[in-house]
Amino acid sequence: MWLLFCFLFVCILWLLLMFPGTERIKAPQFNDCNRSCQRFLFRVLWNEGFFPAVGYHVGKYEVDLALPQKRIAIECGWNDWERTDLQRARSRKKQMALQEQGWQVVSLSPKEIYGNPRLCVEKIEHCIARQRHIY
């Protein structure tokens, strides 16, 4: 009886190690997020079935969150009262450079992310739907 129990335990352990679930294959990059609104949006997207890359590099620019397969860059910006003119200019330059390389840019403020995360997901889904109509 004891031998049978040990054999079953070893078999189950072997199965778990050889055939991991998707949770282990796609380990979240949650810890790589720089800001709390970025972490929150990452969790929301993860729960909705999107698996964004954190800190994805497109040319010389780094995107907060990206869906590289869809070429969608998600920027977790600042609230209007927190931004300076220099930050706005850099953001516009980065957005134009990404669009020239064929990326769609979705800019979201912390107010939008925390206030209505479902609307943020809908904006991203809208970009994906728009791509389907183009091709």
For residue 84, the SS3 value is coil
Structure-derived torsion over alpha carbons of residues 76, 81, 87, 91, reported in degrees to the nearest 10: 40
> Can you give the residue ranges of every domain in the chain?
28-134
The answer to whether the CB of 124 falls within 8 A of the CB of 74 is yes
pLDDT digits (tens, 9 = 90+) for 80-96: 776 788 888 888 999 99
| The domain defined by 28-134 carries CATH number 3.10.440.10 | no
**Structure-block tokens of residue 116:** 């209505």
Q: Give the integer Cα–Cα distance in Å for 49 and 2.
A: 43
Round the average pLDDT of the chain to a whole number and report it: 84
pLDDT digits (tens, 9 = 90+) for 17-52: 666 554 444 556 767 778 889 999 999 999 999 999
